[in-house]
Amino acid sequence: MFKALHLWLPSYLRRIRRRVSLADTHLILCVCDHFEPLHDATHAQAIDRVLRWQTEFPALSSSHRDSTGQPLRHTFFYPVEQYDPALLSPLADLCRSTPCETEIHLHHKNDTPANFSATLEKGKRDLASHGLLSTDPSGAIRFAFIHGNWALDNSNPSGAHCGVPNELALLLNAGCYADFTMPSAPDPTQTATINSIYYATPTHLPKSHNHGLPARVGVIDPPGFLLVQGPLGLNWHRRKWGLLPRIENADLTLRNPPTLDRLSLWLDLNTHVRGRPEWIFAKLHTHGGLPRNMRMLLGVPMRDFHASLPTFAAAHPGFQFHYTTARELVNIVHAAEASHSGNPADYRDFRYTSRLRSQ
Segment 219-229, tens digit of pLDDT: 999 999 999 99
Q: Which residues contact 264 (CB under 8 A, 6 or more apart)?
A: none
- Decide if pLDDT at 132 tops 80: yes
pLDDT in tens, 2-15: 678 888 888 888 87
Instruction: For residue range 78-117, list pLDDT tens digits in order.
Output: 999 999 999 999 999 999 999 999 999 999 999 999 999 9
Contact between 93 and 121 (Cβ < 8 Å): no
Q: How confident is the model at residue 178 (pLDDT cuts 50, 70, 90)?
A: very high
Mean pLDDT of 240-246: 76
Beta carbons of 283 and 30 less than 8 angstroms apart: yes
For the chain, which residues make up each domain, given as ranges? 5-12+25-312+319-354
Cα 37 versus chain centre, distance: 18
pLDDT of the residue at 38 = 98
**CB of 167 closer than 8 Å to CB of 153:** yes
- Residue-averaged pLDDT of the chain: 95
The CA distance from 106 to 233, in Å, is 26
Mention every residue, 6+ apart, whose C-beta is less than 8 A from residue 71: 61, 62, 64, 65, 98, 99, 323
How far apart are the C-alpha atoms of 52 and 3, rounded to whole Å?
35
- Looking at domain 5-12+25-312+319-354, which CATH architecture does it have? Alpha-Beta Barrel (3.20)
Q: What is the pLDDT of residue 21?
A: 82
